[in-house]
Amino acid sequence: MTPRPYSLSNREVQILSLMADGHGTRQICGELFISHNTLKTHLYRIGKRMGCGERAGMVSLAYRVGVLRIPEPELMRQATELVQQQRAARAA
């Protein structure tokens, strides 16, 4: 198993990924079933390890060092379709 840059945990990478997808605090907490305070603790630890205090900076750095990867176009298309289907189902 290859060590991750900055020794981030799986949960911390999940949080970075959700932030990269544009999710806000409430959405992240709901998706991961964690409290607001737990999310704040994770963000503090991510920021401390990465040397960055702002969410956008954390996400940007995560892409640059390979913690997060830019999705392939086909995956992006599939994800967009899935989100549209979910929105349509909620609206119905």
Does position 3 have pLDDT exceeding 70, yes or no?
Answer: no
pLDDT of residue 72: 75
- Per-domain residue ranges of the chain: 5-91
pLDDT reported for residue 54: 93
Tell me the CATH class for 5-91: mainly alpha
Is 0.85 surpassed by the pTM of this model?
Answer: no
Residues 23-61 as b or e (16 or more Cβ within 10 Å = b): beeeebbeebebeeeebeebbebbeeebebeebeebbeb
pLDDT at 83: 83
Convert the pLDDT of each residue in 8-67 to its tens digit.
999 999 999 999 988 999 999 999 999 999 999 999 999 999 999 899 999 999 999 989
Residues 6+ apart with CB under 8 A from 8: 16, 46, 49, 67
